[in-house]
A and B are shown apart, each in its own frame.
Chain A
């Protein structure tokens, strides 16, 4: 009986430990997103209102880089933009067009970029989640750079941000 109890307690501790380890990794990955530790490049002209982009995310574990790529893609469209790659792709300016302090950022984007946040409504995998082996690069002793191609619904994202007063719309003031 005692042995079963002990085993159970150890199991619970192990599970909790693993979960918090996973959460810690996720938090670190989120921190990377916030610190703009990712790169975005244009892949091609997408559908009307969409952007087809490749997000290069950095992580010690490739798994987190992949899960983080959706967040990075939406974050990049809002805050970073990307330069064009010549003839097939034109550059894109970030959606944000108003200055914002940390308090204002937290008020909306903290929940928006949660794992269960609204950001996931505006992004889809372009290649059904599969990654080109050439897009998994080891860039340091313990660092991976993973490229994931995603589709971002810029039109709907812009509408939401305009409605929330985060960005100015074309008709703001008229």
Chain B
């Protein structure tokens, strides 16, 4: 009897611990004014790229000088928070990045006087980022005294670059309403459709797995390449076989494969692993990293990540 009781308690504990980990990794979302919106209103910086002028959006100026963009983003943030999905606020993210950077520059070790260790890659990665970017565009149409707003929201997966949700349209024309009122109406009118699209994307993710991008690269000084044979099979094919065995329903596309690199897109990875833990691209690719570094292949490799949905394995060393 006592044995059975113990067994039951063990089972309950195991089940509850599984439950504890059975939540998928929640993506972060951020509303970003689109390039076209920024450039049309003059919020951009110009660089000379070997004779070609390049214009890039100046988000900081847009947030400081345009009150309407704050109003729209705040309203979208409010509606998303109500649905249990608070968004990252781009203006605050930019501010805290600058603050962090200033603090890092000033910080030094109390014992050795050493500065914070930051590689050039680390510096490059210090930008406002989110897993899903909500790109916002609007324009005001005027026909005589009549005004209307053309509104466009695009939900873009930051890793696969796929559009996963959208809502757009032109509001009813008005003689008297001001722009903030028209914008507010547009947000209210379009957010339900936008969140419905987002819901579809999440539902699909739970059924068919999270879609990620996997890149395989090689160090220059590595003596082997993706065409090298291991146990009579080329390494490129071995990696493809591993992906087939470890993706949801074997789904992935080999977009590029050369002797030195491979690119796999639409790789559908399970949201949770066998032990019920949530996984992302990095955790998923760690298994491939181990598979290749172990016998019989013994290929040392370095795993590099980019958010939830993109990871790169560089073969031939750490």
Contact = CB atoms under 8 A, between A and B. Distances in A.
Contact of A93 (B24, B169, B193): B193
Given A48-B79, A174-B23, A174-B26, A169 B84 contact: yes
Given A169-B83, A171-B84, A97 B188 contact: no
- Interface SS of A by simple majority: loop
Interface in B93-128: none
A168 interface: yes
A7 interface: no
B246 interface: no
Which of A89, A90, A93, A154 gathers the greatest number of chain B CB atoms within 10 Å?
A90
B83 A170 contact: yes
Nearest to A84: B169
Contacts of A90: 167, 169, 189-190, 192-193
Contacts of A87: 148, 169-173
Interface residues of B, number: 30
A49 B83 CA distance: 11
Contact of B192 (A88, A154, A169): A154
Interface string B182-223: 000100111011011011001100100000000000000000
A91 B197 CA distance: 13
Interface residue tally on A, bucketed by range: 20 to 34
Which of B79, B173, B190, B199 has the largest count of A CB atoms less than 10 A from its CB?
A: B199
Contact of A173 (B82, B193, B198, B202): B202
A43 B191 CA distance: 17
Nearest to A42: B189
B184 to A, nearest CB: 8
B206 A88 contact: no
Nearest to B80: A170
Contacts of A46: 188
A168 B26 contact: no
Contacts of A154: 192
Nearest to B195: A170
A41 B31 CA distance: 31
Contacts of A91: 193
A170 B190 contact: no
A45 B170 CA distance: 13
Contacts of B185: 45
B202 A170 contact: yes
A155 B82 CA distance: 9
A36 interface: no
A88 B24 CA distance: 38
Contact of A171 (B25, B26, B172, B196): B26
Nearest to A93: B196
A173 B84 contact: no
Interface in A65-99: 84, 87-93, 97
B64 to A, nearest CB: 27
A87 to B, nearest CB: 5
B192 A92 contact: yes
Nearest to A49: B82
B175 interface: no
10 shortest interchain CB distances as A-B pairs: A88-B172, A174-B26, A171-B84, A170-B83, A90-B189, A93-B196, A45-B189, A87-B172, A45-B185, A170-B85
Interface of A: 44-49, 84, 87-93, 97, 154-155, 168-174
27 contacts: A44-B172, A45-B171, A45-B185, A45-B189, A46-B188, A47-B188, A48-B188, A87-B170, A87-B173, A88-B172, A90-B167, A90-B169, A90-B192, A92-B193, A93-B192, A93-B193, A93-B196, A97-B199, A168-B199, A168-B203, A169-B84, A170-B83, A170-B85, A172-B202, A173-B206, A174-B23, A174-B202
